[in-house]
Amino acid sequence: LENGILFMAYGQCQNMMCFLRHKTDHEQLNPLENMAAGSFAAVFSSIALCPTELVKCRIQTLNEVQKMNSLNGENIIYKKISPINITRNIIRTEGIRGLFHGLTTTLVRECPGYGCFFGGYELTRTLLMHKNQKKEDIGFIKTWISGGMAGICFWIVMFPIDAVKSRIQVFKPKMNFPKYTLQIIRNEGFMVLYAGLLPTLIRTFVATGTLFITVEQTRRFLNKIF
């Protein structure tokens, strides 16, 4: 769902960017213009992503609490933890707005993150093109590499923000994003924000490379049909 919304919005934002920059085709957009289109597209995916991310974090936290209580020998019976139950509880106790707790921090992450994501993809495709070649004709391997670089660009820039966002959604500190980030750095050091980055980069290179190949091939297939 998230990727569907994101890529649909990205295409429309590219159209908007073409209109604003008086260009007739997406191929004419430079990496910075594609980066701007990606950032704006992320607004739509963030609205869809925030509630599901919040519920996921709450479930993970409750599961950890149950495990800790079990290890401590506490005989406590919990209700079944499910996404539906968690969602109902949030709506009942915090209202619909509660599902969007952390939306601001999600936007802080997603907008620049997906700007780097799409900007990195388009820049890599541009660098891998031969002279007078279209980006869509660079081939399977170069598209896969470009997609992998998109994922790396995203996570190198956004990994610290994602770490702070997850903590905010779980612990709900009574301070704003910058102050909470500084508190984490002060107490645990800056590199704690990059804990687990390397496995993420390896995984994302393969995954996003495959994602972009799928998107490009699907686009070609649909263009032939319609």
Per-residue pLDDT at 209 exceeds 80: yes
Per-residue pLDDT at 25 exceeds 60: yes
The confidence score (pLDDT) of residue 87 equals: 87
DSSP state of 166: H
Averaged pLDDT, 132-155: 92
> Which position has the higher pLDDT, 105 or 27?
27
For 139, list phi and psi in degrees, rounded to 5.
100, 170
Q: How high does pLDDT run on average in the chain?
A: 86
Per-residue pLDDT at 2 exceeds 80: no
Q: List the one residue out of 67, 94, 92, 90 whose CA is nearest residue 78.
A: 67
For the stretch 44-86, pLDDT in tens is: 888 887 888 888 888 887 777 777 766 666 655 555 678 888 8
For the stretch 159-185, pLDDT in tens is: 888 888 778 877 778 888 888 889 999
CATH fold for domain 2-225: Mitochondrial carrier fold (1.50.40)
